Amino acid sequence: MAAAAELGSLSAGVRTMFFMLTPNESAFEKVEDVPQYVQQATPFFVGLMVLELVVGVLKTGGSVVPLGDGLTSISAGMISRLPLLVMRGCELTAYMYVWDRYCLVELPWDSAWTWWFTFLGVDFCYYWVHRFAHEVSIIWAAHQVHHSSEYYNLTTALRQSLTQQFTSWIFYLPLALVAPPAIFAVHIQLNLLYQFWIHTELIRDLGPLEWVFNTPKHHRVHHGRNLYCIDKNYGGILIIWDRLFGTFALESDKVVYGLVFPIKTFEILYVQLHYYLYLWRRSNTYKTISNKLSTFVKGPSWKPGKARLGDHIDNPKVSKYKILRSHHFHSNAPGMLSQLTVLGMTVYILLTLTALGYIIDQRPTAAVLETLRCVVMVTMQRYSYMTPLLPSLAVATEVRRPVVCYNAL
C-alpha cells in the first residue's frame, strides 16, 4: 500500500508540472486545503534540470547550463521567496479580500465548469500581467530579472523577481468577483509550474500543440532580444491570447537571449534592483513632471516625443551569425581554479541555497541541512578552502571531551 501511495504521489507530482491534473483531484473548498504545489515541486525541478543537463551533454557534447549563470538563476529563485517569510502571497491575499467583500456570483467550488472557467480566467489575467510587465517601466524593473540571463535553460525559469508579486496581484482581482479563492489558489500555482518546463532549447517543436499551447518554441521567442522577438508571446499556458491580441511571433532567426542592453554581471542584488536605480536617474534628467512620470509608467523604450512604447532605433544590432555571450569560463585563463575546486564550490553554494530554501519553507529537516552546511563550511575553513569575510572574527576553538575518573570502592 505504501509503495502504491508513493507511486501515486510521484505520478501526481509529474502531472502537476505539465498541467495534467483533473478537476476531481485538484478542486478544494477551503484555501487551507489546497496543497503547496510549488513547494512540493522542488524534487521535480531538480530532476528535470539534471535530465536537461545530461541530455544536453549527450546532444551537444557540452553543458547547456553555464556555472555562473545557473547559480545566479537559482539564487534569484531563492531570493524571490523571501517575502513569504513575513506574509502570504500578495496575489492570494488581495484575491481573498475582494472575494469576501465584493463577490457578485459564488460559483460552486466542486463544479468542473468552475475549475475550467478559473483556469481560463487565471491564464487570461496572466497574459495581461505579463504584457504590462513589458509595457510599463516600473513593472518591467521587476520582470527584467527573469530576462537577464543570456542563456535559455530550465534554471532560467527559476530566475524570478523579488518585487514583481507586489504589482501582479492587481490583474487577478476581477476574477475574485466570481471564482472561489481555493480554485484560484490551485490555478495560480499550476500556471506557474507549467511555465517551468518550457524554458529549454532541447525541445524544438511539438506539432499541432503549438497552435494552442505555450511551448518551448514560442517561449524562446519571448526571451529573445532579436527585433522580431521583442514584446511577443506573453501567454502562460495558452498561446491563443497572443494570437487574439496581435502579440504572437513564430520562431524564425536564431534567437539571441537576454536583455537588449545586457547587464554583464552575476551579482544577485544588482540583477534584482539595478533597473529601479536606472529609472530614478533617468527621470531626473527630465525637466517636466509629465516626462518624469512617463519614465515610470510608459514603456522601457519610451523617450519624450515618442509613442507610449517608444521604438527600438537605439537597440544594439543583433547578429544571427555571431552570437556573443559574456562570462564564459576558459580553462586556459590565468589563475583559473581547478575543476575539483570549482566542483566543490558549486556543491557548497547549492547546499547553502537549498538550506536557505528549507528554512524559508520551514521544513522539519531544515535544521539538519543547515547543520550539515555549517559542518562543511567549518571544514572548508579548517583546510583553507574558504577565507572568512572578517578574519579577525574567525577564532579557532578547540573543544575537549572532559575526562571523568571513577575511584574503585
- Classified as helix, coil or strand, 238 is strand
Exposed/middle/buried for residue 371 (C-beta within 10 Å: 0-12, 13-18, 19+): exposed
Phi, psi of 238 (to 5 degrees): -100, 145
Q: pLDDT (tens digit, 9 = 90+) per residue, 293-315? A: 999 999 999 999 999 999 888 88
* Model confidence at 122: pLDDT above 50: yes
Q: pLDDT (tens digit, 9 = 90+) per residue, 219-253? A: 999 999 999 999 999 999 999 999 999 999 999 99
Q: What does the mean pLDDT of the chain come to?
A: 85
Question: The C-alpha cell of 352 is what?
Answer: 547553502
Q: Evaluate whether 154 touches 197 at the Cβ level (below 8 Å).
A: yes
Say what the pLDDT of residue 326 is: 41
Query: What is the value of pTM for the model shown?
Result: 0.80
How far is it, in rounded angstroms, from Cα 82 to Cα 155? 18
* Model confidence at 333: pLDDT above 60: no
How far is it, in rounded angstroms, from Cα 299 to Cα 297? 7
Measured CA distances, 317 to 20, 323, 324, 341 (Å): 41, 11, 11, 38
Least confident of 115-129, 134-148, 200-214, 373-387: 373-387
Task: For 49-66, give the DSSP string.
Answer: HHHHHHHHHHHHSS-SS-
Supply the angle between the helices 181-197 and 2-17 in degrees, to the nearest 10. Answer: 80
Q: pLDDT (tens digit, 9 = 90+) per residue, 28-55? A: 999 999 999 998 999 999 999 999 999 9
Least confident of 45-54, 63-72, 108-117, 156-165: 63-72
Say what the pLDDT of residue 72 is: 87
283: confidence class by pLDDT, cuts 50, 70, 90: very high
Say what the pLDDT of residue 167 is: 93
Residue with cell 523577481: 161
Query: Which amino acid is located at 21 in the chain?
Result: L
Say what the pLDDT of residue 327 is: 41
